[in-house]
A and B are shown apart, each in its own frame.
Chain A
Amino acid sequence: MLDVQHYIESGILEEYALGVLSADERAEVERVAQQEPAVGRELAAVISGLDAYAEAHALAPPAGLRERVLEAWENSIRETGPPAAPAAPVTPVVPAPPVAAVPRMSVAPAEPAAPADTEGGAVVRQLPAAADAGRIRWLIAASVALLLISGLGNYLLYSRLKETESSLQVAQAEQSRYAATQQAALNERDQQLAILRNQAFRSVDLKGTPKAPDALARVYYNATTKAVYVDVRNLPELPEGKQYQLWALDNGQPVDAGMLNPATATGDSIQQMKNIASAQAFAVTVEDIGGKPTPTMSTLTVVGNI
């Protein structure tokens, strides 16, 4: 009997998702994930977490790259010969694509027509009307040709339609995704506005020290809920590898109130910081990325009393 918890904690699911396992090990993980629902759920969560992390790093490729990449890809499939024919039989599970069915149908009537015509008996019976036979043959050929042409036309229209349908669907999907995130962003702004309007929040102006006389930031502190928000007006640009850290001063003792994100430090957004039980003043220092347990007083940038 497999100890599910132990298996999950062994780290093998993370290794699976990171792609560092051998083929045998992968197959084993897949087998266990199928047998044990708890493992399956955990594996799905791990994969979606890493997918999201990957997606968060998305970056628009340089402008000309699209054409270059698509062209190179097209050249490569031309070089390796017609891929469509050998590739198609690999996926027999998929119902035959409708596009293939259309031309096949139009060809079908031609086949019975031809053998019937060349049968010896038929020729004998139609001996007196040899000229008619020629005409009939010509008519059959013409209708087959027409049928083929109309089949081809249908096929072209059909594939054009499919293409349009799917680009429409892609566009609709993108559009509704965009709307959802705009809504989410709006909700966040609403929340920020609610903080600014809330009477329970006291605003504390943090003024620049002689080192940075123009620096200015504001802290919103709610003594009841202990919530702290910081809103940067102007802070000097940080040297590489550094980050701003907010401190609450309680009876002269500095208490870490959290690190300012780059977007907060440039004044792009208001950030919620760590909850602070009690404070008489707030201050910001420059620290290594990730912060320090105690402030480096020589880098004190702004400070203000409640």
Chain B
Amino acid sequence: MLLVPASPPDSVALETELLLVQRLRDRDEGAMTIFYDKYAAALYGVILRIVKKEETAEDVLQEAMVKIWHSFPSYDAGKGRLFTWVMNVSRNLAIDKIRSKQYRVGSRTQPLEDSSAAQRLAAEPSFRPEHIGLQEMTRQLNPDQRQIVDLLYFGGFTQSEVAEELNLPLGTVKTRARAAIKVLSKLVR
């Protein structure tokens, strides 16, 4: 089926990524424009999914860009892809944001599916045809698995917090999380 992007574009993408890393390391300011064009959509999508408000998502994306530039010397290309690193920096900022006071009130127990941002995201047509679509991915996950991945990835919950939240044994949460992530990684292999 169409799930797996063929390997040539992947290696090209990797080469582009390495080039960008080199330029960021050289503190080449022009690299940030390329960085934005390449990663902003992915970062913005995840940030919005976490903070759920467009205005906040825009602020967090802005903070993330500044933070990525300043802490770039601490990025170790030997430990993982640039994408993974910048995504984690952005996710952490977004999660810090929802854990801050004004966000906490009542929002934690609300399931993610109900948020208007989630609805909008689900309705969004696949505007980036080069990626495995969200629908394609979620079609492969059963609802239990998806709920757990979403709580872990977008909710900033630990596995024990998810267990508590869903009233499930920790072992079950771990098994489901593992199964879900396995499905996701099979799709990209």
Contacts and interface: CB of A to CB of B under 8 A. Distances in A.
A84 B26 CA distance: 8
Majority SS at the chain A contact face: helix
A13 B132 CA distance: 24
Contact of B134 (A11, A20, A57, A185): A57
The range of chain A's interface size is 35 or more
Interface stretch (A67-75, A127-135, A246-254): A67-75
Contacts of B83: 51, 55
A49 B36 CA distance: 23
Contacts, number: 218
B53 interface: no
Contacts of A184: 2, 5-6
A19 B127 contact: no
14 contacts: A14-B174, A30-B79, A49-B182, A49-B183, A59-B121, A61-B41, A73-B62, A80-B70, A87-B73, A90-B73, A173-B13, A181-B131, A261-B135, A262-B123
A76 B134 contact: no
Nearest to A46: B181
Interface residues of B, number: 88
Contacts of B92: 19
Contacts of A183: 6
Contacts of B159: 11, 14-15, 20
Given A9-B178, A87-B27, A19 B113 contact: no
B127 A60 contact: yes
Given A30-B79, A73-B62, A66 B181 contact: no
A65 B158 CA distance: 32
B1 to A, nearest CB: 7
B42 A55 contact: yes
A169 B40 contact: no
Interface in B130-185: 130-137, 139, 142-143, 149, 152-153, 158-159, 174, 177-178, 181-185
A176 B9 contact: yes
A181 B129 contact: yes
A59 B54 CA distance: 11
Interface of B: 1-2, 5-6, 8-9, 12-13, 15-16, 19-20, 22-23, 25-27, 29-30, 32-34, 36-38, 40-42, 44-46, 48-49, 54, 58, 61-62, 65-66, 69-70, 73, 79-81, 83-84, 87-88, 91-92, 113, 119, 121-124, 127-137, 139, 142-143, 149, 152-153, 158-159, 174, 177-178, 181-189
B136 to A, nearest CB: 8
B134 A56 contact: yes
Nearest to A77: B69
A52 B132 contact: yes
B19 A169 contact: yes
Contact of A70 (B36, B119, B139): B36
Nearest to B171: A11
Interface in A85-120: 87-88, 90-91, 94, 97, 99
B158 A14 contact: no
Contacts of B188: 48-49, 51-52
Contacts of B30: 163
Given A19-B92, A263-B135, A58 B34 contact: no
Contacts of A49: 181-188
A22 to B, nearest CB: 12
Given A30-B79, A180-B5, A185-B129, A52 B187 contact: yes
Given A170-B38, A173-B16, 10 more contacts: A15-B158, A50-B153, A59-B48, A65-B58, A66-B37, A69-B65, A83-B69, A94-B25, A173-B12, A185-B129
